[in-house]
Amino acid sequence: MTRHGLLWLIAIILIFLFAPLLVLQKDYESCVETELKSASSWYDEDEVQSIVNRTNKIYGAAMITTGIDPMIRKHLAKPVTSKEIAPGVDVPKVLVPYADHLMEYWGNLLLNIWMFCFRIAHSLSWMMYLTPFIAAIIFDGVMTRKAKLASFKYTSPTIYNMSWHIIIALAALSMVAFAFVTPLSIFFYPIVITSMGVLLRLLISNIQHSA
């Protein structure tokens, strides 16, 4: 399981590192704008602002407080002032668009990380909305397990393992999706969280007696 988690983490890191090479800055901005508009069409202004504020707090803790963002902006994400690859030698015209895009790499990387934080903040909003459901379903799972043990009914290790693996897969795939520069529907968050809640009930209700 640790090995699988490491593979998912590597996948996310690779997306962060290579997506800025393939995706234009305007695409990042368009993706974030699309998700903000989508959120605004479903939530009130205060809720949208709350998500943005939470995003900035997460980003600030991860990138600004640690000094990573200021360092990148100061030393790496600098505007291009010259099209020369050497004194008196201009970049070939056919390569100019690629050169400009390459120079936007670090700015795109920061945008990608901010977008990732925005999606985490958005999911946290839904977690708060669905807390009563999650609490109820955990309680139901616990009581179902107790009823099974009291009546000597079968608790399935197969269902337990399947639920556990699917929960981890959903969490990992969600993190990977958060890193992709593709607008996510606001329904993505409640569907994933609800699915994980149902699986959590199955997992708890099938914990083996020796566990």
In degrees and rounded to multiples of 5, residue 86 shows phi and psi of -160, 160
Distance separating alpha carbons of residues 156 and 51, to the nearest angstrom: 40
pLDDT in tens, 161-192: 899 889 988 998 899 899 888 999 999 999 99
Contacts 24+ apart (CB under 8 A), 38-42: 38/183, 38/185, 38/186, 39/122, 39/186, 42/186
* Token couple for 112: 């990608």
* 8 Å CB contact between 104 and 170: no
Average pLDDT, the chain: 83
Query: How do the domains of the chain map onto residue ranges?
Result: 2-205
* Model pTM score: 0.81
pLDDT in tens, 129-142: 999 988 999 898 88
